[in-house]
Chains A and B, each alone.
Chain A
Amino acid sequence: MTDSLSSRLFNLFDELGECSPVQRIQRLEELALTEPELAVRLQRMLEADALATGPLEHRLDDIVPELIESTGQPEWETVAGSRIGPFELVEPLGEGGMGEVWRAERADGSYRQAVALKLLKRGLDTRSILRRFMLERAILARLNHPCIVRLIDGGMSENGRPWFAMDHVDGAPITVWADRHQLGLRERVELLIKVCDAVAYAHGQLVIHRDLKPANILVDTDGRPRLLDFGIAKLLEDSAESDLTRTGVRVLSPAYAAPEQIGGEPVSVATDVYALGLVLFELLAGQLPHDRAGQSTSNDPHPARSLSRWLAASDPTQLSARYGASSDPRRLARRVHGDLDQILAMALRAEPERRYASVSAFSADLKAWLQGWPVAARPDSALYRSRRFLRRHVLGVSATAAVIVALAGGLGLAVWQAGVAREQAALATAQALRADQTRDFIVSAFNSINPTLSRDGVRVTLAEFLTTTVDRLDSALGDAPEARNDLRIELASAMQELGLLSEAGTELRKALDELRGLNTVYDPAQEIRVLHLLAMYEQRDGSLERAIDYINESLRIASELKELPEDLRQRRISARTTLAHLAVEQGRYQDALDQYLSIREDRLALNGREDHRMAVDWLNLCATRYWQADFVLGETECRHADALLQSDPEAPRVRRAWVGNSLALILIAMGRYEEADAVLAESADLVREYLGEPHPMLATLLGNQATLRLAQGRADEIPALLEELERQQPMETVNVPRARIRLSLIGRTEMALGRLDEAEAFLRQSIELGVEAGQENTHQTLRTRRALADLLLLQGRLGEARSEVDRLKAQYLEIGWTQHDEYAHALLTASRVEWAAGRSEQARDLERQGLTLLAAIAGEAHPLVQAGPGFALDDHSTEAH
């Protein structure tokens, strides 16, 4: 195969791997006409890729076990019977990096004593190695613990090779011993605790072992574990001697090495903690946690390391060979799940500083687990994971095209709107179905996915069904262009709802071309609909301006029509609502408000009465009032929307959660924290009941609950909320606008918790994303900037704080936000800046202005207003939402 052919093969493989099954088959068929060989190979590769079974899924160790097991005596330099000091060598025990180890017996007739005798290899007697060898001897001499082998004697052999003798342990590696005795879970943990005590003792003597592994932890016939082989141990105080593992003198065992050892970074007691964690894992699971066969890679943020999962998935026969016949993988997994998983995860963290600080802390947690007490180990916090997300995405996120922001409430609206669009789509589909051709086509489409009729007998997903069907349109309905196009539009709309965005975009453009072409009868209603769908597509794709163009075009077409049929008028309302959402996202709140008001009028005229279908308009209004700090009106409108939904039995009750979310934001801004709390809780219950979890709306509600806690000065409760929020919608899965909101929330939380540097990174990142998306005038961006000003003040960076708050005030004036609670809060921040600068006069003046404004906007009952002058100056943590 030539180079260019080969690169074509692999490129096509990548490309077709991403395609839908239908497109894939189509492409392969096309290719088969021109390049049959390539097509066949490609198809084989795609099939092989899907199957993913073959030798590469196995471990090399399973394939060629004899590669390692093959014996053959190593060439011993010394022969049995040799006399070394007072000992006679009996049999070789093993070969280390530096020397040979023999079982030897005292031969001077004084008494019987079996020892393990370590002898330095010939040819290795360079100064550094000699020093190393003597160091091991010195370390052993220093350690005197029942679970660590003792140094017995040492000296120089006749031919000048140094040696030393230690206790000979007649035993087996800890893992082997435990299996041989079929120890239970508790007994295994108890055994390891004994080992921990020995290691902790060594640490107390300033010795780090650095090479803990089952082979170096033997259990003798009395069941006592014994630590041996301090061959690469390190004396803590001996800083010059730090690089032994890299001198080639002695190889550490890569399988048990901690990340910092592999990376050549400094080792510490945490290195031994890591190794003990691995030993415990192996002791309990029968193997190390590294999962090569499962193809997980080490950059996975949550490596598949949980012990309970390993146990649950293990082979019962293997397990009972280790734990005894009565053991059951699931039961074992259940006992381990939770605390013991956490303990292991903490011991095995990649960063040494995040593991247990000492072996004693590790064993204390193990003891607590045995007793059923709470353990100290905690899972990675949401804050930590978010920090990592921030680090990882600091460039990636900024580089992403400006995606439309969905502010906490705004996104809710978009979701609801999608529901409305679906209903309309259903109506339109019913209409289209009237055509006989269409009906026949649909019937055949359904037949094509009937498992009993299809080629492979495979169940087809909805997404696959849609792509298959849309691909068949041209051939099946070539002579019925209107019906074909109607169907294309409906299918595209459904694809869009399912998230098949690019496919939907392609079909919609095709449909628009068709509508404007010569083959079809002019149908302005359909054109408007397609334009509307295209606008939604562009909005999700992040092209705000193109979305607006499409909407405006659809409105222009509608305005040219003399008489609008009802469905078209409904569509026009939807289109205008989308346009208003776009205005919200750009921070043009007044424009949005005007549009929502006129939309409400039109919908009322169209529907003839006010029913639950209008709740969406009231909600849109009240959400906008919140952004505009028009709280009294906003509350009224929210309650009206809620009443419409509650009074109408036809209304989908869960939509009250969206209303509740907006209402809660308003209540928080007014300082009515307890009411807000209740509303948020009720809304969350509704979502849980009707939509289930995890659900993005729950994440939104939790985020606002966290905002509430900030305002209440109860920041210490927030990490738990963020944890839950992360569960509802992991940071990794959120889009840029949501990430921006969350980054801001985390930043403000970090600030309230006193972690100022972290806070700054989060806040700046959030602001930067907002500015990049052209949303510097949105509530969200401005609020985050105000938090940043407060933060700078807290950090004592007075000059920066002042210039930030000045810029902020100027911007409020520019966009006319002088009657806004955000402006009031900014004045309070400015007052704190002046106070810190020692200009108490100005500070008091600004504070008075800020509180007066806040009282006018949020009401006299607002806690800051109630607290009165001087309060804001003393306490930064009351920084409201």
Chain B
Amino acid sequence: MTEITQLIEQARTGDSDASKALFVALYDELKRLARRQVDPANAPLQATSLVHEAYFKMVAGSELAINDRQHFFALAARVMRQVVLDAVRARNSKRRGGELRLVALDSVILDSAGTPLKDRELLELDEALNHLQDCNPELSRLVEMRFFAGLELTEIEALTGRSVSSLKRDWRRARAFLYAELNTHPVLDQLKDAPG
């Protein structure tokens, strides 16, 4: 058994030191993969394939029990969320102040029309995910795995043993919960209450 598989098993069975070590290892690996030198002979990687790459790199080849696999991907998804949020925060601190101001009314509308996402919204999503985690950890894990780790529902089905249809239902629940949290925005609320 390799070091990494041992670590995963220990982490899954509740060893918090192992968990931390695994988190750090994953964080480093994902950052390393993301930073991989871009050159003409290396197609630009997609953020959503990082977790897959990390799996191939770190684990593939050794036999992982299914619940260890599940644990690996769940944790990697969590780490990925951290990596993404760190990147967003870094971007923010670079252009200090500019984006974190209260979003003006017209830009809210522009957002819903599909313009690029505001950093603010991602930070809020992170916040909302914390709330979701408090009231339904399984749903927040699903969001991490699908959105941050880029796993397809069929892959999550294979990992968790839950059917695609029930995962779809959960995705809808989670999405509605999160968006509802995002939308409890003073400007939007005023907009709704406005007469006429």
Interface residues of A in 17-71 (CB under 8 A from B): 17, 41, 44-49, 51-56, 58-64, 66-71
Number of B interface residues in the complex (CB < 8 A): 62
Interface residues of A in 142-172 (CB under 8 A from B): 171-172
Determine whether the beta carbon of A251 is less than 8 Å from that of B56: yes
Whether a CB of chain A sits under 8 angstroms from the CB of B70 is no
CB-contact partner of B164 in A66, A215, A299, under 8 A: A299
Assess the A46–B176 pair: CB atoms within 8 A.
Answer: yes
Partner of B88, one of A13, A64, A216: A64
Q: Is the CB of A297 within 8 A of B39?
A: no
User: Hey, what's the 0/1 contact readout for B156-185 against A, CB within 8 Å counting as 1?
Assistant: 000000001000110011011111101110
A298 beta carbon closer than 8 Å to chain B: yes
B contacts with A: majority SS: helix
A785 CB, nearest partner CB in chain B, Å: 34
A61:B112 contact, CB within 8 angstroms = no
Q: Is A173 engaged at the interface, CB distance under 8 Å to the other chain?
A: yes
Indicate whether A228 reaches chain B with its CB closer than 8 angstroms. yes
Give the residue of B43, B60, B87, B183 whose beta carbon is less than 8 angstroms from that of A64.
B87
| Chain A residues positioned under 8 Å from B59 (CB to CB) | 248
Q: Is B49 touching A297 in the complex (CB atoms < 8 A)?
A: no
Say yes or no for A464: interface residue by CB 8 A criterion. no
CB distance from A761 to the nearest CB of B (A): 24
Asked if B150 contacts A292 (CB within 8 A), the reply is: yes
* Docked-complex contact B46 and A52, CB < 8 angstroms: no
How far, in angstroms, from A802 to B178 measured CA to CA in the complex? Answer: 64
**Residue A671 interfacial (CB < 8 Å):** no
Decide yes or no whether A72 CB sits under 8 A from chain B. Answer: yes
Contact A45 B180 (CB under 8 A): yes
Does A559 have its Cβ within 8 Å of any Cβ on chain B? no
- Report the separation of the CA atoms of residues A593 and B50 in the bound assembly, to the nearest whole angstrom: 69
In the complex, the answer to whether A54 meets B178 with C-beta atoms within 8 Å is yes
A14 within 8 Å of B (CB atoms): yes
Q: Which residues of B contact A806 (CB under 8 A)?
A: none
**In whole angstroms, how far apart are the Cα atoms of A298 and B155 in the complex?**
10
Inter-subunit contact A55/B61 (CB<8 Å): no
Q: Does A247 contact B (CB under 8 A)?
A: yes
Choose from B37, B38, B125, B180 the contact partner of A55 (Cβ within 8 Å). B125
**Are the CB atoms of B116 and A62 closer together than 8 Å?**
yes
Quick check: which of A93-101, A185-193, A825-833, A841-849 contacts chain B, the rest being far away? A93-101
* B161 to A: closest C-beta gap in Å: 15
A73 at interface (Cβ–Cβ under 8 A)? yes
Q: Does B130 contact A (CB under 8 A)?
A: no
Cβ-based interface call for B42 (8 A): yes
B117 / chain A contacts, CB cutoff of 8 Å? 55, 58, 62-63
Q: Of all chain A residues, which has the CB nearest B164?
A: A299
Residues from 109 to 128 in B contacting A, C-beta threshold 8 Å: 112, 114, 116-117, 121-122, 125
Given contacts A71-B38, A74-B35, A215-B40, contact A60 B148 (CB under 8 A): yes
Find the A residue at minimum CB distance from B121.
A55
Chain B residues with CB under 8 Å of A298's CB are 152-154
Measured between beta carbons, the chain B residues less than 8 angstroms from A587 are none
Residues 181-214 of A contacting B (Cβ, < 8 Å): 213-214
In the complex, the chain A residue whose C-beta lies closest to that of B35 is: A72
Structural contact, B112 and A95, CB atoms closer than 8 A: no
Q: How many A-B residue pairs have CB under 8 A?
A: 181
Does chain B have a CB within 8 A of A483? no
Are A70 and B148 neighbours in the complex by a CB distance under 8 Å?
Answer: no
B148 touches A172 (CB 8 A): no
**A467-B38 Cα distance, complex, nearest whole Å:** 59
A365 to B59, CA, bound (A): 40
Residues 24-64 of chain B, each 1 if its beta carbon lies under 8 Å from chain A, else 0: 00000000001111111111111111001100111111100
**A246 near B37: Cβ-Cβ < 8 Å:** no
Cβ contact of A10, chosen from B56, B173, B183, cutoff 8 A:
B173
With a cutoff of 8 Å between Cβ atoms, the chain A residues found around residue B45 in the complex are 68
Whether a CB of chain A sits under 8 angstroms from the CB of B105 is: no
Cross-chain contact B47 with A68 (CB below 8 angstroms) = yes
A53 engages B112 (CB within 8 Å): yes
Report the interface size for chain A: residues with CB under 8 A from the other chain: 68
Question: What 1/0 flags go to A278-311 for Cβ under 8 Å of B?
Answer: 0000000000000010000111000000000000
Which of A59, A69, A251 contacts B57, CB < 8 Å?
Answer: A251
* Residue A218, interface by CB 8 Å: yes
The reply to whether the CB of A240 lies closer than 8 angstroms to some CB of chain B is: no
Whether B83 is near chain A, meaning CB under 8 Å from some CB there, is yes
Contact A48 B84 (CB under 8 A): no
Contact B60 A246 (CB under 8 A): yes
Asked whether any CB of chain A lies closer than 8 Å to the CB of B3, the reply is: no
The CA of A51 and the CA of B52, in the complex, are separated in Å by 31
B179 to chain A: which residues have CB within 8 Å? Answer: 45, 48-49, 51-54, 56
Q: Which of B41, B53, B175 has the most CB of A within 10 A?
A: B41
A651 to B57, CA, bound (A): 74
C-alpha spacing A72/B38, complex, angstroms: 10
Stretch at the interface among A252-260, A424-432, A534-542, A731-739: A252-260
B91 interface hit (Cβ, 8 Å)? yes
Cα(A61)–Cα(B147), bound, Å? 11
Contact of A49 among B91, B153, B172 (CB under 8 A): B172
In angstroms, Cα B8 to Cα A725, docked, is 53
Residues on A with C-beta less than 8 A from B194 are none
Instruction: Flag if B173 contacts A68 (CB, 8 Å).
Output: no
Asked if B135 and A1 sit within 8 Å, CB to CB, the answer is yes
Distance (Å) between the CB of B180 and the closest chain A CB?
4
Complex alpha-carbon distance, A48 and B180, angstroms: 6
A68–B34 CB distance below 8 A: yes
Asked if A248 and B43 make an inter-chain contact with CB atoms under 8 angstroms apart, the answer reads no
Return the chain B residue nearest A43 by Cβ.
Answer: B180
Q: How far is the CA of A47 from the CA of B122 in the complex (A)?
A: 20
Instruction: Check: B193 CB closer than 8 A to any chain A CB.
Output: no
Taking the closest CB of chain A, its distance from the CB of B98, in whole angstroms, is 16
Give Cα A3 to B135, complex, Å: 6
Given the complex, which residues of A lie within 8 Å of B148, measured CB to CB? 60
Mask of B75-117 contacts with A, CB within 8 angstroms, 1/0: 0000000011001100100000000000000000000101011
What's the Cα separation between A95 and B88 when bound, in Å?
27
Q: Are A93 and B41 in contact (CB under 8 A)?
A: yes
Contact of A248 among B34, B41, B42, B56 (CB under 8 A): B56
Check if A54 sits within 8 Å of B134, measured CB to CB: no
Bound state CA distance, A299 and B175, in angstroms? 20
A128 nearest CB neighbor, chain B only: B61
CB <8 Å contact, B153 and A56: no
Chain A residues with Cβ below 8 Å from B134 are 1
Flag if B48 contacts A60 (CB, 8 Å).
Answer: yes
| Chain B contacts for A93, CB-based, 8 A | 39-41
User: Judging by beta carbons under 8 Å apart, are B84 and A253 in contact?
Assistant: no
Interface membership of B136, Cβ < 8 A = yes
- Residues on B with beta carbons closer than 8 Å to the beta carbon of A216: 41
Q: Are A41 and B180 in contact (CB under 8 A)?
A: yes
Asked if A6 is at the interface (CB within 8 A of a chain B CB), the reply is: yes
Minimum CB distance partner of A256 in chain B: B43
Is A14 within 8 A of B169, CB to CB? yes
Do A214 and B43 touch across chains, with their CB atoms under 8 A apart? yes
For B62, list chain A residues within 8 Å (CB). Answer: 248
| Contact residue among B41, B47, B48, B169 (Cβ-Cβ distance under 8 Å from A94) | B41
B-side contacts of A44, CB under 8 Å: 180, 183-184
Q: Complex Cα distance A101/B40, Å?
A: 12
A248-B175 in contact (CB<8A):
no
B11 interface contact, C-beta 8 A: no
Set B47, B53, B173, B182: member contacting A251, Cβ < 8 A:
B53
Q: Which 8 A-B pairs have the closest CB atoms?
A: A48-B179, A215-B43, A44-B180, A6-B135, A45-B176, A248-B61, A49-B176, A60-B47
| Interface positions of A (Cβ within 8 A of B) | 1, 3, 5-7, 9-10, 13-14, 17, 41, 44-49, 51-56, 58-64, 66-74, 92-95, 101, 171-173, 176, 213-216, 218, 228-229, 245-248, 251-255, 292, 297-299
7 residue pairs from A and B, CB less than 8 Å apart: A17-B172, A56-B178, A64-B87, A68-B44, A74-B36, A93-B40, A251-B56
Further 5 A-B residue pairs, CB within 8 A, beyond A55-B117, A64-B87, A92-B37: A1-B134, A48-B178, A54-B178, A55-B122, A251-B57
